[in-house]
A and B are shown apart, each in its own frame.
Chain A
Amino acid sequence: MIIKVLGTGCANCKNLERVTREALSDLGIDARIEKVEDYGQIMGYGVMSTPGLVVDERVVLSGRVPSVEQVRDLLAAAR
């Protein structure tokens, strides 16, 4: 599973990364989280409202920081 957090370093983006790491450790998945900060790449995923969460090249969420439970559900569904 390759996970990407799209965002340019504002508080929300950092929070999304933190929440995602927590969800990953809860599920016991060892996946790499990549931070994508380049606008061109972010737009390439069709994301206009950062932060965005991409799992295996599919955008699963954008525009807000979800709860750990919600990220867990999203990751579990993507497995």
Chain B
Amino acid sequence: MVAVTSRMPRSREGQWLVLAGAAAAWVGLYVLNEHVWDWILFGAAGLNPADRITETIHFFLYDVVKITLLLTGIIFVVTVLRSYMSVERTRALLGGKRTGVGNAMAAGLGVITPFCSCSAVPAFIGFVAAGIPVGITMSFLIASPMVNEIAIGMLLSLFGWQVTAVYIAAGLVIAIVAGLIIGRIGAERWVEPFVFETRLGGQIVDPAAGLTFADRIQMGSEEAQSILRRIWPYLIVGIGLGALIHGWVPTDFFTTYAGPGSTFGVLVAVGIGVPLYSNAAGILPMVQALYEKGLPMGTLLAFMMAVVALSLPEMILLRRVLKPPLLVIFAGIVGTGIVAIGYLFNALLA
């Protein structure tokens, strides 16, 4: 890990200067990316751009650099922004809010609060101990993975703000509605008893308090490195598949088999997406390529949400606090919501 804090300039001006320099370098690399590969493959190596294999390789190399740059930039900025929020602050904000308003706030906060899924259990217990109803807590727990900040960044750069807005709205709506339904059915009986019996002791320590600007930059830098280190195999596979689709799948292939009017397209997409465990970054390259080949945006969004919102590791973790009936209900509502969003947007955007 690069220890950034010890090397950051002391003064605020110096820190901003370093950030500006890094941003400039980032923009430079991003803009030059395609030209560099054009020059290396078509210029220096003299390969033929019209050749399919060359095109696939070119796309792969270009996308690896582009996505790595995007991820680094997005993760850094998001982590720094999120360092101002914490589960502890969210908990304080949600205390005493009634159903409805509470669900909407919980979903919104779920998107912006930094939340490691390993903290799902302590967070759940903490929310319950603060008197926050199970339904509102679930809205938070659903929104958090579903409206993924990396996905937002990548959708923004790949597809523009309209698609991104749809994604965010869809995730929030599903989180809110699911939380409302769960709140209505007396879900407390399906929460493991120890959750209600655990006392939250001591002084609550807020990770967001007392951070210096240099601290936040350090966290941003470390998070970017850590995530990239962890997911680079998924990235290579995802980008590789994306490149293959880009180079070898005929245009409009999917329009024939899974176009906007297709009956089962969304269901199949969600069916494939649920068992897949990946993070948003790994599948976005593939999503872009699939879209190029005619897969409708509604189906794609549904696929993406299915992959990130419902995963086996998350279910296993939640099993510690939620009994099977509630887990099934949770998965069922979220899954149904995702399918509904898929069909809805295929119909709207067609």
Contact surface of A with B, Cβ cutoff 8 Å: 7-8, 10-13, 39-40, 42-50, 52, 59, 61-65, 67-70
B121 proximity list for chain A (CB < 8 A): 8, 39
Interchain CB contact (< 8 A) of A48 among B6, B91, B230 = B91
**Least Cβ–Cβ distance between B233 and chain A, in angstroms:** 15
A13 proximity list for chain B (CB < 8 A): 118
Across the interface, do B198 and A46 meet the contact criterion of CB distance under 8 Å?
no
B126 touches A (CB below 8 Å): yes
Can you list 26 A-B pairs, Cβ within 8 angstroms, ordered by A?
A: A10-B118, A39-B122, A40-B198, A43-B199, A43-B200, A44-B199, A45-B201, A46-B205, A48-B88, A48-B123, A48-B204, A49-B88, A49-B122, A49-B207, A50-B118, A50-B122, A59-B203, A59-B205, A61-B207, A62-B205, A63-B207, A67-B1, A67-B5, A68-B3, A69-B3, A69-B6
Docked Cα-Cα span, A20 to B121, in Å, equals: 24
Across the interface, do A10 and B205 meet the contact criterion of CB distance under 8 Å?
no
Docked Cα-Cα span, A11 to B87, in Å, equals: 19
What 10 pairs across the A-B complex have the smallest Cβ distances?
A63-B207, A10-B118, A46-B202, A48-B126, A44-B201, A46-B204, A59-B205, A48-B122, A62-B205, A45-B202
A67 proximity list for chain B (CB < 8 A): 1, 3, 5-6, 218, 222
Q: How large is the interface on B (under 10, 10 to 19, 20 to 34, 35 or more residues)?
A: 20 to 34
Across the interface, do B126 and A43 meet the contact criterion of CB distance under 8 Å?
yes
Docked Cα-Cα span, A16 to B183, in Å, equals: 36
B129 proximity list for chain A (CB < 8 A): 43
A interface footprint on B171-204 (CB within 8 Å = 1, 0 otherwise): 0000000000000000000000010001111111
Docked Cα-Cα span, A70 to B141, in Å, equals: 31
B77 touches A (CB below 8 Å): no
Across the interface, do A39 and B125 meet the contact criterion of CB distance under 8 Å?
yes
B50 touches A (CB below 8 Å): no
A45 proximity list for chain B (CB < 8 A): 201-202
